[in-house]
């Protein structure tokens, strides 16, 4: 059932004000309508804004109580005011951030947090309860550590970073500005490295390197990025890493790459700028993906790819070849029956006719 707890219209921004902040969007209807928040089509109230992607979704507006919507040109939205946009999802996200800013905890160190004596924290940093900041760590202006976050020895964190509940940043990690670490992610744990000793047992390989997260990186909940064996595991500017992603030691990821949930990158692999790994896909050790490579869901890449490649499946095939192979796979049972009939007809095949 839709919520009836609508926000009070006594605050917010007019549609005209929202249009200006988006760089000038066309308005149909009452441009002075005051918007105090965003909501779904089903749960929204008269002072809230929703969005529609196209005409099929707009049909749900018939029963919606939303005060206004943001929608593409040409999509009929009834009598309610409309903010027209070529990209309603993106503009809706920007409006959401404007109307629903994240509350910022007070600056300073919570009395139940631990900060080493030689750690250097900017005066504007916020450190929540049960946090730990190790020896020699440095944290830049306006960065926030939420409850239970751990920053180990010799970690450097830049400005405006956000470490959510339970984040663990291991020793030596270097983090740039505006980095977001979602709950429970682990940055800088040992890489998975072993050799066999003379008796054939596993012997741990020391992991002596560290991790570098450049500016504007986001790491999802439960993700893990391993420290390098030597040197650095390097995550480039603007990389977005989803929940439960695993990145091995000495991996290098180029700017603006995206890794979706449960994907994995083995040690020493290199992903070019704007590479895109769909869910549950994997990249083998020492493999290099060219800039802009797209790997489909559950794809497994074990050979280098050229820039702009689009690959699917395991072992990964070019997109068209993979689609053709899937079409054949769907007909395998029929093709096998036809082959057996042909063998019986011609007398070619196994003696028992199987």
Choice among 111-115, 230-234, 323-327 with the minimum mean pLDDT: 323-327
- The answer on 221 and 133 residing in a single domain is yes
Q: Is residue 75 part of a domain?
A: yes
Share of the chain above pLDDT 70, in %: 95
- pLDDT for position 10: 46
Q: Is residue 159 part of a domain?
A: yes
Share of the chain above pLDDT 90, in %: 83
Q: Provide the total of helices (H) and of strands (E) in the chain, helices listed first.
A: 5, 40
Q: Is residue 286 part of a domain?
A: yes
- The answer on 235 and 155 residing in a single domain is yes
Q: Are 181 and 166 a contacting pair, CB within 8 Å?
A: no
User: Structural domain tally of the chain?
Assistant: 2
Position 55 confidence tier, pLDDT thresholds 50, 70, 90: confident
Position 352 confidence tier, pLDDT thresholds 50, 70, 90: low
pLDDT digits over 87-134, tens only?
Answer: 999 999 999 999 999 888 999 999 999 999 999 999 999 999 999 999
Q: Is residue 331 part of a domain?
A: no
Supply the CATH number for residue 31's domain.
3.40.1390.10
- pLDDT for position 252: 98
- The answer on 39 and 112 residing in a single domain is no
Alpha carbons 46 and 7: distance in angstroms, whole number = 9
Residues 275-300 have a mean pLDDT of 98
pLDDT at 172 over 60: yes
Domain end position, chosen among 38, 68, 99: 99
Residues 327-335 have a mean pLDDT of 89
- pLDDT for position 351: 54
Position 61 confidence tier, pLDDT thresholds 50, 70, 90: confident
Q: Is residue 77 part of a domain?
A: yes
- pLDDT for position 4: 43
- The answer on 239 and 113 residing in a single domain is yes
Q: Is residue 345 part of a domain?
A: no
- The answer on 116 and 90 residing in a single domain is no
Closest CA to 269 of 296, 298, 295: 295
Query: Catalytic: 323?
Result: no
- pLDDT for position 7: 45
Supply the CATH number for residue 127's domain.
2.160.10.10
Q: Is residue 174 part of a domain?
A: yes
- The answer on 302 and 245 residing in a single domain is yes
pLDDT at 5 over 60: no
Q: Given the residues 146, 164, 210, 249, select the one marked as catalytic.
A: 249
Give the CB-side neighbour count of residue 2, counting CA atoms within 13 A: 13
Selection from 41-45, 276-280, 323-327 with the highest mean pLDDT: 276-280
Residues 215-224 have a mean pLDDT of 98
pLDDT at 348 over 90: no
Domain end position, chosen among 78, 99, 120: 99
- The answer on 292 and 193 residing in a single domain is yes
- pLDDT for position 345: 87
Any idea what DSSP says for residue 234? E
Alpha carbons 237 and 229: distance in angstroms, whole number = 22
Selection from 12-21, 23-32, 256-265 with the highest mean pLDDT: 256-265
Any idea what DSSP says for residue 9? T
Q: What string of DSSP letters covers 13-80? A: EEHHHHHHHTT---EES-TT-EE-EE--TTT--TTEEEE-SSHHHHGGGGG---SEEEE-TT---TTS
- pLDDT for position 255: 98
Q: Greater confidence, 294 or 351? A: 294
Q: Is residue 2 part of a domain?
A: no
Choice among 56-65, 123-132, 137-146 with the minimum mean pLDDT: 56-65
Q: What is the pTM of this model?
A: 0.89
- The answer on 244 and 218 residing in a single domain is yes
Choice among 154-168, 171-185, 239-253, 340-354 with the minimum mean pLDDT: 340-354
pLDDT at 287 over 90: yes
- The answer on 152 and 263 residing in a single domain is yes
- The answer on 267 and 145 residing in a single domain is yes
- The answer on 286 and 225 residing in a single domain is yes
- pLDDT for position 349: 66
- The answer on 138 and 77 residing in a single domain is no
Residue that has been written with the tokens 């769909």 in this structure: 278
Position 11 confidence tier, pLDDT thresholds 50, 70, 90: confident
Q: Range of 90's domain?
A: 13-99
pLDDT digits over 62-76, tens only?
Answer: 889 999 999 999 999
pLDDT at 347 over 90: no
Average pLDDT, the chain: 93
């Amino acid at each position: 059932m839709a919520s009836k707890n609508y926000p009070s219209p006594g605050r917010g921004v007019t549609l005209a004000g929202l249009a200006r902040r988006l760089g000038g969007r066309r308005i149909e209807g009452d441009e002075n309508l005051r918007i105090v928040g965003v909501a779904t089509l089903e749960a929204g109230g008269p002072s809230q804004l929703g969005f529609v992607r196209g005409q099929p979704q707009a049909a749900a507006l018939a029963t919606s109580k939303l005060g206004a919507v943001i929608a593409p040109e040409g999509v009929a939205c009834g009598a309610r005011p409309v903010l027209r946009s070529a990209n309603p999802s993106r503009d809706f996200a920007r409006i959401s951030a404007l109307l629903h800013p994240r509350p910022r905890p007070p600056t300073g160190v919570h009395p139940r947090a631990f900060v080493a004596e030689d750690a250097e924290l900017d005066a504007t940093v916020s450190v929540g309860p049960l946090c730990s900041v190790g020896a020699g760590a440095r944290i830049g202006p306006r960065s926030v550590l939420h409850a239970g976050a751990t920053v180990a020895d010799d970690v450097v964190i830049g400005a405006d970073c956000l470490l959510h509940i339970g984040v663990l940043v291991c020793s030596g990690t270097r983090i740039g500005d505006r980095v977001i670490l979602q709950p429970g992610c682990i940055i800088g744990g040992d890489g998975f490295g072993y050799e066999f000793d003379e008796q054939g047992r596993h012997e741990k390989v020391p992991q002596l390197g560290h991790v570098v997260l450049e500016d504007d990186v986001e790491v999802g909940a439960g993700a893990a990025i391993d420290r390098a064996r030597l040197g650095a595991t390097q995550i480039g500017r603007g990389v977005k890493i989803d929940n439960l992603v695993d990145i091995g030691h000495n991996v290098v990821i180029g700017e603006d790459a995206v890794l979706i949930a449960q994907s994995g990158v083995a040690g020493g692999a290199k992903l070019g700028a704007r590479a895109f790994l769909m869910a549950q896909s994997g990249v083998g050790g020492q493999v290099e993906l060219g800039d802009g490579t797209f790997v489909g869901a559950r794809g497994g890449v074990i050979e280098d790819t050229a820039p702009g490649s689009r690959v699917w499946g395991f072992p990964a095939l070019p997109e068209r070849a993979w689609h053709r192979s899937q079409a054949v796979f769907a007909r395998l049972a029929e093709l096998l029956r036809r082959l057996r009939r042909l063998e019986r007809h011609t007398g070619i095949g196994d003696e028992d006719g199987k």
